[in-house]
């Protein structure tokens, strides 16, 4: 689909502003009642999802042209999709798709952000958007006793993703994940320096070609390697595999799991037994790409028709992704399986969780906005009284770490993997 | 007609560079509004010249003074949902009050909250519920501003039966008059706090908003004390489930019903009796017969299949004259009494409780939608938009006249294919404000804003029903029609049928706004 295909969605936006709030019944206090970081940061209506739909319509209709402000409105947004969930509580519109198409159009029309261009150049040269050398990709696993699937067969491929591969502060988590899998007797391998980006971040920034390239490459590599399962600790990669990869139309002969799903399964099968007490009160941050954005791709090709006068239907019927089927319980179940650990919930959770701030190319292009968004979440975590904030995504973790460091905050930060390791 | 650099600079100095914009991409997001296509043939009204976002009363006052001084018009908005936010013409500065978003105080004992313009009902309600209180929420939804509907516009909603409508609910108000002077209405004016909206001396509440509100035409309201009401439910409602369905258990001291009746007459009889018995907590006609099949469908496509198969005809008929009712009591004995009273009323009026609505899961959803008022934008779901008609604040019997007229006229437009076939019935309202003192009925209809023919049909429907209201159905038609259907001449058409209110309204406008600085479009043009 192209931007123009969503013109009716733009015209049918009612400007209700529901995309600025969590589903209304889930608002629990004045303080934590916003759901759209872009809107709170930018304040003018144009920054909301509805506002971006209007901007897209205006652009298509030639009422406005590109400007620096236009690009700021388009790109100062994490593409975390909370807006999409709130809109779809009552509507059958696709605000997030419009926003993705709008970015793709910007890129097509050469309306690029310098910070994103740097990422894309790095991606084209070194298969990662982080400005790191490809040759260094496998370093995170040095000394780890794990198969290399480029040389030997394994049932399960552990996909580290760019952030875990190159962010040395986080290497321990990727290593810990592999350790846990091995402890549970999983036949696991990695691709080391041959691993390539998932392409998801580029797609969200509007660079469509990059996603197709990596999706085709990765699917082909994993099919050829004969792996039965691809497991990743990165929520962004996971969301990309579940939602964007099926779009390229290549058969995927493997199952995709997030590490928290896999660990949950292993615990429930009795293959991992958390027995050591971890006396800690924690709160869990749902990463956007593991939660609402991890819903599987639902192919739909059809047309819009009118019946009963002016009732608009999709023919054949279209299933909308409304955030209903994200991965919400497995990470919580893993946490609940840890003796002594108590999980307390924040106000904005699951499909209406507040974003960590790192996504959509925001951390690179608008670092202040990214950190502000993280701090807002940290405040919400602190308000629960929990001692620690737990997450399951390296991008969230990086951004929370940076925010905590900047403010000298005391709140502890963990990945689920670290807590489970402690409990074994 | 862009603002002169001088004026722009003055406004920028007031709010700071980050809080003013004349970027077309930003301006268009204010020009784009619901129903615009029924007036302008596009989704856009006239662009404002600039948008300013003040953060305090002082800043609002300085903006208004600057506008007066330099002959620029201004138009305020709170959350900005609806055509009445649009500048009527070129040369208007939009004052977006989004940054004024605080609940300043909740006075539990005196049962009011002081809010700024960008607080929404959902926020106020959850904070009030923590104290055993709640607020009346307008039918538009809990995503709108209590201050906006209390001070400036309409205010009807289904909790009106026990909490009245929002013309009654503002107490003291901080008001930047069209000239820039500050008026502190009611008790605030003599330093006695926020508890009362009247006096000392004459009450100005009627002038401030009257029945329908000045819709931005009489200055800018910066703070408002909103009356709160007892909430006999839990301090925090826990909604289970994942989007799009969130449900909470119905507390033991509440009941949630859909009541059906054989005719409009028995419907009205029952509404009056429920009002007289003072047993309703939330009540009104929300669900149209044509919408009922959507409850059994997962998508508009499935909905259409059910409708086209004829399977829904019977159930639509059963819901044709249906009221939704929540009973809420402070004790179990009281709720039992209310239930018995209701049973008697049903027996007297021939009403019944349709069996599909007795499903506890469905009841939970209805309960949520009526207490949280979170589902109303579903009205846009089937066709992309809706419009409305009639809607005078009047007796329930007179409202039934509107309902009948609405059905008749709708059939014609359904036949033309320009609006959705909803079975020619979507009367909305009958909320029986103040336990029955007055109610209103709007006839809603669905159209497609992306389809020029449909939008044109919607415009014609609005115009025809607006004229009909003036001629055949006493009472002033609902707000948006004043402009959308009949244009600036609306008040001159309605006025003679409604005690010549337009003469007084014009005088008020002239007296309060000598420089005609507050954009008058949706209020009243100062000159005939
Ligand atoms: C789909 C839909 C359904 C609706 N249904 C109902 C309903 O059932 N009952 C009902 O009562 N209303 C209804 N309305 C109308 C509604 O009352 C108004 O739109 C309204 O008050 C919404 O609040 P808001 O925050 O969006 O106000 P806005 O839309 O921002 O403002 C409404 C009007 O008040 C003026 N205004 C707002 N704030 C201020 C201020 N601080 N100072 C001066 N002027 C101000 C604006 O200029 C505008 O003319 C409906 C509207 C829509 C879009
Ligand atoms: S995008 Fe959806 S939620 Fe946002 S304003 Fe438009 S219709 Fe409302
Ligand atoms: S994706 Fe996130 S930041 Fe962007 S508009 Fe939606 S809610 Fe706001």
* Domain CATH code at residue B368: 3.40.462.10
Atom of ligand 2 nearest to the CA of A14: 7
Chain B CA closest to residue A310: B420
Q: Is the pTM of this model over 0.80?
A: yes
User: How many residues does this entry show for chain B?
Assistant: 528
Predicted pLDDT of residue A180: 98
Predicted pLDDT of residue B471: 79
Whether B250 and B193 map to the same domain: the answer is no
B420 vs A21, A24, A309: nearest CB: A309
Between chains, do A88 and B243 touch, taking CB under 8 Å as contact? yes
Predicted pLDDT of residue A209: 95
Query: Sign of the C-alpha dihedral, residues B295, B301, B306, B308?
Result: positive
Q: How far is CA A338 from the centre of its chain?
A: 25
Between chains, do A11 and B43 touch, taking CB under 8 Å as contact? yes
Residues of A in contact with B293 (CB under 8 A): none
Among B464, B467, B474, B524, which Cα is nearest to B498's?
Answer: B474
CB B103 within 8 A of CB A30: yes
Which of B384, B414, B452, B458 to mutate against chain A (most A CBs within 10 Å)? B384
Angle at A73 between CA A67 and CA A74, to 5 degrees: 90
Specify the number of domains making up chain B.
3
Atom of ligand 3 nearest to the CA of A81: 1
Helix (H, G, I), strand (E, B) or coil at B446: strand
β pairing state of A341-343 and A147-148: unpaired
Which of A33, A295, A308, A368 to mutate against chain B (most B CBs within 10 Å)? A308
User: Domain boundary at B207, B230, B253, which?
Assistant: B230
- Ligand 3 centroid–CA A18 distance in Å is 12
Angle formed by the axes of helices A367-383 and A394-407, to 10°? 80
Atom of ligand 1 nearest to the CA of B97: 41
Predicted pLDDT of residue B1: 65
Among A396, A414, A397, which Cα is nearest to A80's?
Answer: A396
What does the pLDDT look like over A128-176, one tens digit per residue?
999 999 999 999 999 999 999 999 999 999 999 999 999 999 999 999 9
Helix (H, G, I), strand (E, B) or coil at B167: coil
Predicted pLDDT of residue B522: 87
CB A297 within 8 A of CB A320: no
Whether B121 and B72 map to the same domain: the answer is no
Residues of B in contact with A323 (CB under 8 A): 242-243
Per the structure, the complete domain to which residue B44 belongs is given by 5-96
ipTM here: 0.97
The reply to whether B528 falls in a domain is: no
CB A326 within 8 A of CB A351: yes
- From CA A398, how far away is CA B115, in angstroms rounded? 38
Which of A32, A292, A311, A316 to mutate against chain B (most B CBs within 10 Å)? A311
Q: How distant, in Å, are the alpha carbons of A193, A225, A384 from that of A128? A: 11, 22, 37
Predicted pLDDT of residue B203: 87
pLDDT (mean) for A77-92: 97
SS3 of chain A = CCHHHHHHHHHHCCCCCHHHCCCHHHCCCCCCCCCCHHHHHHCCHHHCHHHHHHHHHHHHCCCCCCCHHHHHHHHCCCCCCHHHHHHCCCCCCCHHHHHHHHHHHHHHCCCCCHHHHHHHHHHHHHCCCCCCCHHHHHHHHCCCCCEECCCCCCCEEEECHHHHHHCHHHHHHHHHHHHHHHHCCCCEEECHHHCCCCCHHHHHCCCHHHHHHHHHHHHHHHHHHCCCEEEECCHHHHHHHHHHHHHHCCCCCCEEEEHHHHHHHHHHCCCCCCCCCCCEEEEECCCCCCCHHHCCCCCCCCEEEEECCCEEEEECCCCCCCCCCCCCHHHHHHHHCCCCEEECCCCCCHHHCCCCCCCCCHHHHCHHHHHHHHHHHHHHHHHCCCCEEEECCHHHHHHHHHHHHHHCCCCEEEEHHHHHHHHC
Whether B360 and B429 map to the same domain: the answer is yes
H/E element, B380: none
Which ligand places an atom closest to the C-alpha of B429?
1
Distance from CA of B170 to the nearest CA of A (A): 20
Predicted pLDDT of residue B294: 85
The reply to whether B48 falls in a domain is: yes
Query: Sign of the C-alpha dihedral, residues A190, A195, A198, A201?
Result: positive
**Chain A / chain B CB contacts < 8 angstroms:** 225
Mention every residue, 6+ apart, whose C-beta is less than 8 A from residue B198: B186, B205
Nearest protein CA to atom 1 of ligand 3, as residue: A79
Whether B109 and B83 map to the same domain: the answer is no
Among B17, B102, B81, which Cα is nearest to B51's?
Answer: B17
Q: Is the peptide bond prior to A316 cis by the omega test (within 30 degrees of 0)?
A: yes
What does the pLDDT look like over A34-66, one tens digit per residue?
999 999 999 999 999 999 999 999 999 999 999
Q: A81 in ligand 3 pocket by Cβ < 6 Å?
A: yes
Q: B175 in ligand 1 pocket by Cβ < 6 Å?
A: no
Whether B272 and B335 map to the same domain: the answer is yes
- Ligand 3 centroid–CA B451 distance in Å is 28
Which of B18, B24, B32 to mutate against chain A (most A CBs within 10 Å)? B32
Ligand 2 site residues (CB inside 6 A) read A 13-19, 49-50, 53, 87, 91, 93, 95
Between chains, do A323 and B243 touch, taking CB under 8 Å as contact? yes
- From CA A267, how far away is CA B336, in angstroms rounded? 49
Chain B CA closest to residue A57: B43
Residues of A in contact with B79 (CB under 8 A): 17
Nearest protein CA to atom 4 of ligand 1, as residue: B140
Residues of A in contact with B99 (CB under 8 A): 43
What does the pLDDT look like over A226-255, one tens digit per residue?
999 999 999 999 999 999 999 999 999 999
User: Domain boundary at B56, B77, B96, which?
Assistant: B96
Dihedral of the CA atoms B443, B444, B450, B454 (nearest 10)?
A: -30
CB B143 within 8 A of CB A24: yes
Predicted pLDDT of residue B291: 86
Nearest protein CA to atom 8 of ligand 3, as residue: A36
Chain A CA closest to residue B447: A310
- From CA B94, how far away is CA B85, in angstroms rounded? 9
DSSP character for B438?
B
Q: A37 in ligand 3 pocket by Cβ < 6 Å?
A: yes
Whether B190 and B87 map to the same domain: the answer is no
Distance from CA of B508 to the nearest CA of A (A): 31
The reply to whether B25 falls in a domain is: yes
- From CA A156, how far away is CA A190, in angstroms rounded? 8
| Residue listed under structure tokens 């129903």 | B35
Q: Percent of chain A scored above 90 by pLDDT? A: 99
Q: A77 in ligand 3 pocket by Cβ < 6 Å?
A: yes
Whether B278 and B205 map to the same domain: the answer is no
Q: Report the Cα–Cα distance between both ends of chain B, in Å, rounded.
A: 25
Predicted pLDDT of residue B479: 57
Predicted pLDDT of residue A109: 98
Whether B67 and B201 map to the same domain: the answer is no
Q: B152 in ligand 1 pocket by Cβ < 6 Å?
A: yes
Nearest protein CA to atom 2 of ligand 2, as residue: A87
Q: How distant, in Å, are the alpha carbons of A45, A145, B64, B175, B507 from that of A276? A: 50, 24, 66, 63, 79
Per-residue pLDDT of chain B (528 residues; tens, 9 = 90+): 689 999 999 999 999 999 999 999 999 999 999 999 998 989 999 999 999 999 999 999 999 999 999 999 999 999 999 999 999 899 999 999 999 999 999 999 999 999 999 999 999 999 999 999 999 999 999 999 999 999 999 999 999 999 999 999 999 999 999 999 999 999 999 999 999 999 878 889 999 998 889 999 999 999 999 999 999 999 999 999 999 989 999 999 999 999 999 999 999 999 999 999 999 999 999 988 888 888 888 888 989 999 989 888 888 999 999 999 999 999 999 999 999 999 999 999 999 999 888 899 999 999 999 999 999 999 999 999 999 998 888 899 999 998 999 999 999 999 999 999 999 989 999 999 999 999 999 999 999 999 999 999 999 998 888 888 877 766 777 755 555 567 778 888 888 888 898 999 999 999 999 999 999 988 998 887
Whether B69 and B50 map to the same domain: the answer is yes
Nearest protein CA to atom 5 of ligand 2, as residue: A15
Domain CATH for B210: 3.30.465.10
CB B325 within 8 A of CB B282: yes
What does the pLDDT look like over A268-314, one tens digit per residue?
999 999 999 999 999 999 999 999 999 999 999 999 999 999 999 99
Mean pLDDT over the full length of chain B:
93
pLDDT over threshold 60, residue A211: yes
Whether B85 and B164 map to the same domain: the answer is no
Whether B250 and B216 map to the same domain: the answer is no
H/E element, B429: strand B427-429
Domain CATH for B38: 3.30.43.10
Predicted pLDDT of residue B290: 86
CB A4 within 8 A of CB A101: no
Mention every residue, 6+ apart, whose C-beta is less than 8 A from residue B121: B135, B137, B138, B141, B142, B143, B144, B145, B146, B373
The CATH number for A115-268, chosen from 2.40.50, 3.90.1070, 2.60.40, 3.40.50, is 3.40.50
Which ligand places an atom closest to the C-alpha of B220?
1
Boundaries of every domain in chain A: 115-268
β pairing state of B170-176 and B92-96: unpaired
H/E element, B77: strand B73-77
């Amino acid at each position: 689909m192209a931007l123009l295909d969503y013109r009716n969605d733009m015209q049918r936006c009612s400007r209700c502003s529901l995309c600025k709030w969590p589903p209304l019944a889930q608002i629990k206090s004045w303080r934590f009642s916003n759901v759209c970081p872009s809107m709170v940061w930018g304040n003018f209506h144009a920054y909301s999802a509805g506002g971006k739909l209007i901007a897209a319509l205006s652009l298509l209709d030639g009422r406005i042209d590109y400007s620096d402000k236009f690009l700021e409105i388009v790109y100062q947004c994490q593409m975390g999709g909370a807006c999409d969930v709130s809109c779809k509580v009552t509507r059958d519109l696709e605000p997030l798709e419009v926003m993705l198409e709008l970015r793709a159009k910007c890129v097509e029309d050469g309306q690029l952000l310098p910070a994103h261009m740097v990422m894309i150049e790095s991606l084209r040269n070194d298969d990662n958007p982080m400005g790191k050398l490809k040759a260094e990709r496998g370093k995170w696993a040095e000394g780890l006793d794990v198969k290399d699937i480029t040389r030997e067969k394994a049932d399960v491929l552990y996909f580290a993703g760019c952030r875990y591969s190159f962010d040395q502060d986080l290497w321990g988590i990727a290593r810990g994940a592999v350790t846990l899998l091995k402890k549970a007797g999983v036949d696991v391998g990695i691709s080391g320096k041959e691993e390539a980006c998932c392409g998801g971040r580029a797609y969200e920034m509007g660079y469509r070609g990059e996603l197709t390239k990596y999706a085709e490459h990765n699917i082909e590599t994993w099919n050829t390697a004969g792996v039965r399962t691809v497991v990743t600790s990165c929520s962004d990669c996971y969301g990309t595999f579940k939602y964007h990869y099926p779009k390229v139309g290549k058969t995927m002969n493997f199952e995709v799991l997030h590490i928290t799903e896999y660990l949950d399964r292993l615990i429930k099968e009795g293959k991992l037994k958390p027995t050591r007490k971890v006396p800690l009160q924690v709160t869990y941050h749902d990463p956007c790409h593991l939660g609402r954005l991890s819903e599987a791709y639902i192919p739909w090709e059809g047309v819009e028709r009118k019946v009963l006068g002016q009732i608009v239907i999709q023919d054949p019927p279209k299933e909308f992704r409304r955030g209903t089927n994200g991965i919400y319980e497995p990470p919580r179940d893993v946490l609940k399986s840890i003796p002594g650990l108590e999980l307390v919930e924040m106000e904005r959770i699951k499909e209406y969780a507040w974003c960590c701030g790192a996504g959509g190319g925001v951390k690179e292009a608008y670092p202040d906005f990214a950190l502000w968004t993280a701090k807002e979440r940290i405040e919400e975590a602190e308000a629960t009284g929990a001692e620690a904030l737990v997450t399951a995504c390296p991008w969230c973790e990086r951004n929370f770490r940076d925010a905590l460091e900047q403010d000298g905050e005391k709140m502890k930060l963990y990945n689920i993997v670290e807590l489970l390791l402690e409990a074994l | 007609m862009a603002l002169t650099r001088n004026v722009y600079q003055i406004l920028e100095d007031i709010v700071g560079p980050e809080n003013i914009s004349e970027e077309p991409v930003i301006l268009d997001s204010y020009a784009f509004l619901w129903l615009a296509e029924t007036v302008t043939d596009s989704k856009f009204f006239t662009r404002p010249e600039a948008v300013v976002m003040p953060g305090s009363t002082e800043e609002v006052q300085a903006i208004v003074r600057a506008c007066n001084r330099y002959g620029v018009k201004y138009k305020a908005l709170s959350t900005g949902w609806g055509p009445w936010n649009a500048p009527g013409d070129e040369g208007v500065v939009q004052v977006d009050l989004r940054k004024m978003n605080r609940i300043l105080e909740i006075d539990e004992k005196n049962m009011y909250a002081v809010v700024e313009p960008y607080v929404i009902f959902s926020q106020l309600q959850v904070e009030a519920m923590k104290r055993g209180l709640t607020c009346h929420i307008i039918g538009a939804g809990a995503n709108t501003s209590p201050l906006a509907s209390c001070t400036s516009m309409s205010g009807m909603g289904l909790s009106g039966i026990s909490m009245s409508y929002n013309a009654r609910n503002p107490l003291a108000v901080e008001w930047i008059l069209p000239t820039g002077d500050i008026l502190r209405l009611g008790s605030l004016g003599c330093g006695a706090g926020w508890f009362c909206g009247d006096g000392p001396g004459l009450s100005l509440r009627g002038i401030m908003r009257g029945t329908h509100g000045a819709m931005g035409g009489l200055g800018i309201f910066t703070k408002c004390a909103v009356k709160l009401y007892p909430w006999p439910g839990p301090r925090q409602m826990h909604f289970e489930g994942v989007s799009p369905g969130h449900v909470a258990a119905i507390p033991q001291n509440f009941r949630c019903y859909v009541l059906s009746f054989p005719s409009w007459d028995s419907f009205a009889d029952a509404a009056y009796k429920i009002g007289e018995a003072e047993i309703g907590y939330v009540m009104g006609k929300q669900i149209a017969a044509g919408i009922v099949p959507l409850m059994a469908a997962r998508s508009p496509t499935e909905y259409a299949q059910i409708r086209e198969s004829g399977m829904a005809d019977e159930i639509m008929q059963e819901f044709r004259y249906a009221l939704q009712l929540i009973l809420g009591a402070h004790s179990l004995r009281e709720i039992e009494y209310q239930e018995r009273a209701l049973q008697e009323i049903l027996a007297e009026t021939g009403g019944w409780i349709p069996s599909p609505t007795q499903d506890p899961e469905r009841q939970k959803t209805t309960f949520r939608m009526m207490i949280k008022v979170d589902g109303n934008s579903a009205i846009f779901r089937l066709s992309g938009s809706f419009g409305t008609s009639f809607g005078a604040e009047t007796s329930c019997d007179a409202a039934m006249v509107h309902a009948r007229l609405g059905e008749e006229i709708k059939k014609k437009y359904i036949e033309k294919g320009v609006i959705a076939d909803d079975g020619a019935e979507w009367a909305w309202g009958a909320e029986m404000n103040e336990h029955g003192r007055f109610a209103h009925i709007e006839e809603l209809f669905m159209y497609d804003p992306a389809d020029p023919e449909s939008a044109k049909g919607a415009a014609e429907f609005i115009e025809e029903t607006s004229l009909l209201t003036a001629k055949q159905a006493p009472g002033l038609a609902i707000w948006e029609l004043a402009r959308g259907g009949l244009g600036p001449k609306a008040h001159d058409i309605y006025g003679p049928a409604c005690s010549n209110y337009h003469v007084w309204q014009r005088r008020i406008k002239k007296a309060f706004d000598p420089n005609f600085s507050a954009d008058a479009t949706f209020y009243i043009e100062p000159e005939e």
